[in-house]
A and B are shown apart, each in its own frame.
Chain A
Amino acid sequence: MDLTPATWLPVAFAGLMGLAVLLYVVLDGYDLGVGILSGTMQGEHRDRMIASIGPFWDANETWLVLAVGLLLVAFPQAHGAILGELYLPVAGLLLGLILRGVAFEFRAKSAVGHKAWWDRAFVAGSTLAALMQGYMLGLYIVGLERTAANVSFAILTALCLVAGYSFLGSTWLIMKTEGELQRRAVAWARGTLVLSGIGMAAVSIVTPLVSERIWDNWFSLPNFVLLAPVPLVTAALFGALGVVLRHLPTRSDRFCWLPFVGAVGIFMLGFHGLAYSFFPYVVPDKLTVWQAAAAPESLMIIFVGALVVLPIIVAYSAFAYRIFWGKATDLRYY
């Protein structure tokens, strides 16, 4: 294949979009996980949990806007095709994100009697958003066709993603909290680690079974040998995290960041596995990135801008994380 803008730009945009999705899943994943888990706590602990994501959730959610925006501008036909098929779960996701986002602000500002309601909306919104994302992922994997078997699979992935986000959220809390709440977070992490492992195994087994193309991608030689490290490293990470979590929290709290890093590693590996399975299709088995791409001139304009701006975004995001480094404290506006 010749290397013209028309051939490499769609691939570059698929990469950018993948990066945005991955960052969204990891970053808002821990927000949503903390939101889901906050339903099990009351009072001060709940406030502290929500405080730990307070300065970040807005920026984290922006990666979703970028991912959907890139899908819209770089692969306009795919945007309509995918989101049109997923019309109702998208509406559910949006409802969840709306509730979660506004509840965060309202719970801190409305009359005392209303706070409990906004807390419920916060938990419900976080859970709904996670469920819908998982459901959409499941339907996407099986090619966006709604048969009974496919919908059951999508419901399974929905539950798995809730478990996965809860795991990510609990490892975030291990890192950002201390004392009683941290011990609770370790217990949550142990439970959700097992559930996430089951879910990931289920998705990994079903995906090649539903698509011959994906089967060939993974199980033909030499791909099988070259790709073997992906599932093996993932399994090893699960095992290692299980061991680490059994020894946490330590008295010195020196390794509180370890589970979060491990969880991010698992999400990255899982994401790469999926990305590898689907490339070059942006709508599974229907539209490739080249077929769905916008005009090269327009993509080039965005690409150049993205190359300049993305490093700056990463830099100031890192700056924001550094400012709020360490254990979460109560949120105060001043």
Chain B
Amino acid sequence: MDDPLLLARIQFAANISFHILFPTITIALGWVLLFFKLRFNRTGNAAWMDAYKFWVKIFALSFALGVVSGITMSFQFGTNWPGFMNTVGNIAGPLLAYEILTAFFLEAGFLGIMLFGWNRVSNRVHTLATVLVAVGTTISAFWILVLNSWMQTPAGFEIRDGVAHATDWWAIVFNPSMPYRLTHMLLASGLTAAFLVAGVSAFRWLRRDRSPGVMAGLRTGVFLAAALIPVQIFVGDMHGLNTLEHQPAKIAAMEGIWETRKGAPMVVFGLPDEATKSNRFEIAIPNIASFYLTHDWQGEVKGLNSFEHRPPVAPVFFAFRTMVGIGLLMLATSWLAAWQLRRSGEVHRHVAWVLVAMTFAGWIATLSGWYVTEIGRQPWLVTGVLTAKQAASSVAAPMIASTLIGYLLVYAGLLAAYIATIFYLARKSAAPADHNPAEPVRAGGATAAGEAVAAAL
């Protein structure tokens, strides 16, 4: 472990992986909170307020973790990758600056009012604060995905004296992969939040917590997930075709296709081997990859061996299968749960347990997807412009190693505390002290209030 480049990479990957977990939740959870709030404003049903009050706490916790890990990122751009800003700073700089100016202050400024201003402002202003926080998180996602997409598929610039200069900001912002990547990420956020809300609500329901907010949360989570997942599969496919056009080596790594061929098979499983340039233990279905990539059973798909620069294959290959696998599991679970909710107003206990198990499924899928796209971009940091190696810093390996260990310990501790606290809040809210005695807790069925919620939906 004395390679500064490798250590800087691991450190940055650890930080960005930890960071992305929390915005992934807050981007969509902000809108879910707004939905709760608007339903309450419209119906006056206390269930929606209940759900809002419970989830706003988890929102605040997630937001704080996102903020502190995000600050770390703003420092590490310079400490770990000085070559990045020196080469493409003229393009990355304004995009990052606009994220801070138009999003960070908006979120942070109105978060205080949203969290603690309930008694101090009118309901209208409080709703407005909720809207602005949700808008802020989404604007933030927009700018950072513009930058990330530009690194994948750069456009609208020219290189002068080894430094990138902007020539067309419109082309930079709406670079070829941006619309697909942004949509894919926003939907991923929606699914992550939906499964979080569904999973925690199912947990509370299984613990016989029949407070009205629980059913409201469960139904919102399940129906949101069921609605988003088919859209996500469709958008993911379009994003894949866009990647095939602009970064074909990434697609070849995702599919595990080494040789360029017509009628390429879909590799269901295999162990990519860089040494022999082939897959071991391959299970493949003929012609399928050609069909979904080129919409022609005999279409030609370029293999890894025909690219001068290609990413490490195994991580991309497996991360892609993890993402798709979880996506299919999400489809099955959310549709089954949605069908049961529509039919009988509740979910079967077994399905509820599956929802609990999938509480953080969105995290795994999102991280896998990011690994596919980021590792799939290697060896480039900015495709065709700058490699990760060129951007690395001269900070000594021991220094990076010591801080890396520190970060990893802190992040592991915080992640454990975060998950434990969410489930602690879920258990606590079911504690007898929090219950309105007028609302008897009945095993196995919904209370009157719960049924009212179900009817309202």
Contacts and interface: CB of A to CB of B under 8 A. Distances in A.
Contacts of B89: 72-73, 76, 294, 298
A68 interface: yes
A305 interface: yes
Interface string A67-82: 0111111101101100
Contacts of A88: 399, 403
A305 B98 contact: yes
B387 to A, nearest CB: 17
Interface in A231-286: none
Contacts of A56: 112
Nearest to A81: B82
Interface stretch (A39-47, A183-191, A214-222, A326-334): A326-334
Contacts of A111: 424
Given A64-B71, A76-B93, A110 B421 contact: yes
B136 to A, nearest CB: 11
Contacts of B112: 54-56, 58-59, 320, 324
Interface in B405-430: 406-407, 410, 414, 417, 420-421, 424-425
Main SS class of interface, A = helix
Interface stretch (A96-104, A142-150, A169-177): A96-104
Most buried by B among A56, A77, A87, A95: A87
Contact of A69 (B100, B115, B166, B169): B100
B113 A62 contact: no
Nearest to B65: A102
B436 interface: no
A95 B406 contact: yes
B7 to A, nearest CB: 12
A290 interface: no
B212 to A, nearest CB: 15
Interface residues of A, number: 60
A231 to B, nearest CB: 33
A83 B109 contact: no
Contact of B74 (A68, A310, A316): A68
Contacts of A202: none
A333 B130 CA distance: 13
A47 B421 CA distance: 19
Contacts of B235: none
Most buried by B among A294, A297, A317: A294
Main SS class of interface, B = helix
Nearest to B160: A295
Nearest to A91: B403
A65 B104 contact: yes
Contact of A87 (B113, B395, B414, B417): B395
A72 B93 contact: yes
B260 interface: no
B101 A309 contact: yes
B292 interface: no
Nearest to A117: B417
A310 B101 contact: yes
Contacts of A320: 109-110, 112-113
B307 interface: no
B169 to A, nearest CB: 7
Interface in B110-160: 110-113, 115-121
A294 B90 contact: yes
A65 B109 contact: no
A84 interface: yes
Contacts of B104: 62, 65-66
A104 B89 CA distance: 34
A155 B64 CA distance: 30
Given A68-B75, A334-B53, A76 B86 contact: yes
A72 B96 contact: yes
A1 interface: no
Nearest to B58: A109
B394 interface: yes
Nearest to A79: B78
A81 to B, nearest CB: 8
Interface string B165-191: 110010000000000000000000000
Given A79-B85, A306-B97, 15 more contacts: A55-B117, A58-B63, A73-B94, A74-B93, A79-B78, A84-B395, A95-B406, A101-B67, A105-B64, A109-B57, A110-B424, A298-B90, A309-B105, A323-B117, A333-B115
28 contacts: A55-B112, A55-B115, A58-B64, A59-B105, A61-B108, A65-B70, A65-B100, A66-B104, A72-B93, A73-B85, A73-B97, A80-B78, A83-B78, A84-B79, A88-B403, A90-B75, A95-B410, A102-B65, A294-B89, A295-B165, A297-B165, A298-B91, A298-B165, A309-B105, A320-B110, A323-B121, A324-B120, A333-B116
- Closest 10 A-B residue pairs measured CB to CB? A73-B93, A55-B112, A80-B82, A76-B85, A79-B78, A59-B108, A298-B90, A101-B68, A76-B89, A58-B108
